[in-house]
Structures are given as C-alpha cells and as structure tokens.
Amino acid sequence: MMLADYAQIADGKLFIAGGGWTTCGPGPTPCAVVAIFHVPWDETGEKVSFTLRLLDEDGRGVHQPGSTDGLPVHVNGGFEARRQPGMKEGAEINVPMAFNIVLHLEPNNRYLWQIEVDGQPDETWALPFETRPPRI
C-alpha cells in the first residue's frame, strides 16, 4: 500500500503522482490509496472481497462532511484474479487498485488506512499517516 496525491489504473498498471507521503494537510487534501493484491496461482478464479477503512488514532472510523452526522470513509469492493494466456504455471497475479478522495481531516492527528480481505484484518495491511499542525 502507498499514499499518493493521485493514482489511476490503466492496462493493469498503476500510474502514481506524488506518491509515498506520510504527512498531509491541514485543510482539504487530495489523497489516493494505492494497493496491489498479490494472488497466488492456485487462488486465481476465486472471488475476493475487501474493505478499506480510514481510522483515527483510537481505531474509530473517520467521518467526512456530507450529511448530518458525516459520511464514513470506507470502500467495499471485490475482484477475481484471472490467469492471462501464456502465463507460466505458478506465477503470482498482481491486482492493482487505486482509490482517490479529498480528505477533510483535523490538524495534528494520526490516522490509519486499514484493509480487510475476506473479512480478515492483518496488521501488515495498514498504512499510517498524520496531519500537520494548524497553520498560524
């Protein structure tokens, strides 16, 4: 996983602008969460579901402006990795994903993007970052 200013997928490849940051804001901040799912050969053709959530430093879901109580920042999705013609048996299949959002976060705080795959979290599937102190 990686944070960037912007990212997109084209022809199965990631195109990343302003990638690799760990500090942002304060104020509205463009953010792309980039992930590459590595699928073993013997798990191709199986449906995989995932959830990407933005959590605060206490592990609570972060909400953004947009309704009376705010909208939770999360993405539910899924994919099915497929073997391409001519691939050698045993090859790992990469499935890139990119999610773009403008974040409205409090200054001087820590946050974490967390992915769960098929309902299972893993502490290595987390991406921490923080916001700068307020501008004076």
Q: How do residues 62-110 score in pLDDT, each as one tens digit? A: 988 765 667 789 999 999 999 989 999 999 999 999 999 999 999 999 9
pLDDT of residue 66: 66
Pairwise CA distance, residues 127 & 4, whole Å: 12
Asked if the structure places residue 20 within a domain, the reply is: yes
Please compute the mean of the pLDDT values over residues 22-44 and round it to a whole number. 94
Task: Indicate whether 27 pLDDT > 90.
Answer: no
Q: Residue 79 burial (CB < 10 Å; 0-12/13-18/19+)?
A: middle
CB 3 within 8 A of CB 22: yes
- Let me know if residue 10 belongs to a domain: yes
Omega into 40 within 30° of 0, i.e. cis? no
* Domain interval for residue 53: 2-131
Task: Indicate yes or no: pTM above 0.85.
Answer: yes
For residue 103, give the nearest of 64, 59, 55, 57 by alpha carbon. 64
Whether residue 49 contacts residue 119, with contact meaning beta carbons closer than 8 Å, is answered with yes
Amino acid in the structure at residue 79: F
Reported confidence tier of residue 26, pLDDT bands at 50, 70, 90: confident
Residue 67: the pLDDT is 58
Number of domain units in the chain = 1
Domain-embedded: residue 12: yes
Rounded CA-CA distance 96/28 in Å is 26
Residue 136 lies in a domain: no
**Residue 87 carries which DSSP code?**
P
Per-residue pLDDT of 36-50, as tens digits, reads: 999 999 999 999 999
Identity of the residue numbered 84: Q
Look up the CATH number of the domain holding residue 51: 2.60.40
